[in-house]
Chain A
Amino acid sequence: MSHNTIRVGDVGLTDGPIALSDVVGGASAGAKIVSDNGTISKSEAQQGEQLGLSLQSKQTPTYTNTASYTSSLRKLCWYRGQGALTANSALVTSNAATTATGAIYTGPDFTTDFVLTTGTWLFVAIPAIRRTGTTVLYYALVDSAYVSSNQDSYILGPVGRLQYTIYARHQPYIAVIEVTGTRTVSLAAIVSPVSYAPPLASEYKFASLQITKLA
């Protein structure tokens, strides 16, 4: 019997040991062995796999009163409704303490603060705030403590703003921040020369929040 009539899969045996890479093909670092409809093969590392998709919520209707831009910022409240994902253990949603400045919440399913661990985090939010005035309301991702009146020290993301209509016409709010250690963040109204009110039931159901760990 000729030695090269013996095969492992498509690989003919030659002198010396046989490697898994001979069977599945040359691989680069990070390649994995996967099953594709029962066929075991190699899968190279893919980009775009999310590390965590954590929360999608509607906002509560418990948001009231006006705010200044110093120490009385108003945090937006989020409701962890059915279907909310908490896939990544690195994200801890933390119900705001009743002593937190400006925080209003009405139960264990409502969240204002998000405790992030080391990594790079993406926030995509469409909040709902019902304006009752005619000028502009600004909001941003902030450090949840925001004890300083120096805006630069606690504003962590872009400044979102409501449009010139009574009914909030929001654009997607997009922020990416890097965290080292642990940081607690919130979305909050930061500058409000106008009155605003809880969103109506027909409005707040459109609010959503996704937090993704990118790296």
Chain B
Amino acid sequence: MSHNSTRIGSSAPNVNGVITPAISDFSDVSIGGIAPGQTIVYDGATSTWIGADLTAQATEFIYTGGSTIGVEAYPSTLAVGQRVAFKPYTSFNTITGATLNNVSGSTWINSITLPAGKYSIIASVYFYFSASGYLATEWRDTTTGDKLSTNGVIGTALTNFASAQSGMWGAFELTESAEIACIITDLLNASGTSNYAYYGNSLFIRKIS
């Protein structure tokens, strides 16, 4: 067999039998027009590797928050262990397989089902206080009880929470689909039954991977 009868694409062996192929010698590569700074990306439509600009994938996320001032009855009273509800005046859910779960007979959301994956979360809640008090909340896996975020504490009677901050922040991994919810862990004089305070309730969940 002649030394140059074996080729990769158009690249033939040299006299020592060494082949130095270019990447374009592969049969599924089409990068004739690739520009400086572009990368090689697999194009599922043509089943070829092509030149393309480096672009990030759109973020998968869930958001719900208020955007209207008004008065609407909160769907329940508040108690330790109870779920906090979020009113989805503006709502996005681009996480494949995730669902926003409503309070029975209501449009208020009080849990979210997420597929397995890694997530980050930020959330804020607002409630009316009948007198000086506080309300502490955190995100949990409703099945395992695992804590998924920091506690956030609002109110003015913060003696027991001197170093606390008011938002809930977290990053967590779910190894399988799970339901998560914002849970009240402590409260004093907090009420969900008056005015439009909780129209600021909002949450943002980002699927990291």
Q: Is the CB of A176 within 8 A of B49?
A: no
CB <8 Å contact, A160 and B6: no
User: A132-175: which have CB < 8 Å to B?
Assistant: 138, 140, 151-152, 155-161, 163-165, 169-175
Among the listed B9, B57, B129, B204, which residue makes an inter-chain contact with A17, where contact means beta carbons less than 8 Å apart? B9
Contact B65 A49 (CB under 8 A): no
Complex CA distance for A190 and B69, rounded to whole angstroms: 10
A215 within 8 A of partner (CB): yes
**Bound CA–CA A134/B58 (angstroms):** 43
Residue of B nearest to A177 (CB): B90
**Do A30 and B41 form a contact, CB below 8 Å, given A49-B56, A155-B67, A164-B129?**
yes
Please give the number of chain B residues whose Cβ is less than 8 angstroms from any Cβ of chain A in the complex: 61
B57 & A49 in contact (Cβ 8 Å cutoff): yes
Interface residues of A in 17-50 (CB under 8 A from B): 17-23, 27-33, 42, 45-50
Which of A33, A122, A155, A172 has most chain B Cβ within 10 Å? A172
Flag if B124 contacts A171 (CB, 8 Å). Answer: yes
Instruction: Tell me whether B160 is interfacial, beta carbon within 8 Å.
Output: no
Give 25 A-B contacts (CB < 8 Å), ordered by A residue: A18-B9, A18-B26, A20-B26, A21-B42, A27-B49, A28-B42, A29-B43, A32-B40, A33-B40, A45-B57, A47-B208, A47-B209, A50-B59, A120-B92, A140-B67, A155-B69, A157-B202, A158-B66, A158-B90, A158-B199, A158-B200, A161-B126, A172-B124, A173-B124, A176-B92
B residues bordering A, Cβ < 8 Å?
1, 6, 8-9, 21, 23, 26-29, 39-45, 49, 56-61, 63, 65-69, 89-90, 92, 94, 118, 122-126, 129, 132, 152, 154-156, 166-167, 169, 196-197, 199-204, 206-209
